[in-house]
Amino acid sequence: ASAKISVYAGHVLSFKPVGQTEDVMFLSSEAYYEKGKAIKGGTPICWPWFGPDPEGKGRASHGLARNRMWQMRDVVSTQDGATKVTLGLSDTEETRKIWDYSFDFAIAITVGKTLILDLLTKNTGSESFDITQALHTYFKVGDINKVAVLGLEDKNYLDKVDDGKQKTQSGKITFSSECDRIYLDVPNKLTVE
């Protein structure tokens, strides 16, 4: 397999599974790489909040993780032959002006037969905090009618296309029209088929 990973935003830009020449992620040819801006495509990270500023302070949507430089922390080969890359982001004077908490945040990116992304948050201070987070992945698909998401069966969600009404997922997710949802109480593992 192959992947392109950016230390700007801890961002996976590309993933090609073993034996495939086609990328499974979408990255616009017009994507821009500019300090303070999010990269449009690949897998942007939304952290410590998803969506608009939860406190209404005018801070950027989707938090502070997706428009900062991260540090390379580790690269190892796993027992099954995959490569695991760990990038990290810690609080700084600059981040404390935006979100005033001590933290250590990391993404572990395992590139092998599949792509596995693990988000790891550690509170390094004495004050508790709440977070929401998301991997806001852009997938390249050939036929949207053949795509399904598994793992959210019977979960509640907010349907942003229907004025934010709360609904319950029935069966796997398939797509027949515009879809913009926020799922609540999601499991750690989801599958895009």
- Model pLDDT for residues 3-17, shown as the tens digit of each residue: 999 999 999 999 999
Helix (H) or strand (E) holding 96: helix 93-98
Judge whether 115 and 137 are in contact, CB under 8 Å: no
Q: How far apart, in whole angstroms, are the C-alpha atoms of residue 4 and residue 93?
A: 29
Judge whether 102 and 92 are in contact, CB under 8 Å: no
Write out the two tokens for 120.
Answer: 């790891």
- Model pLDDT for residues 65-105, shown as the tens digit of each residue: 999 999 999 999 999 999 999 999 999 999 999 999 999 99
Q: What is the DSSP letter of 148?
A: E
Determine if the pTM surpasses 0.85: yes
Per-residue model confidence (pLDDT) at position 130: 95
Judge whether 139 and 26 are in contact, CB under 8 Å: yes
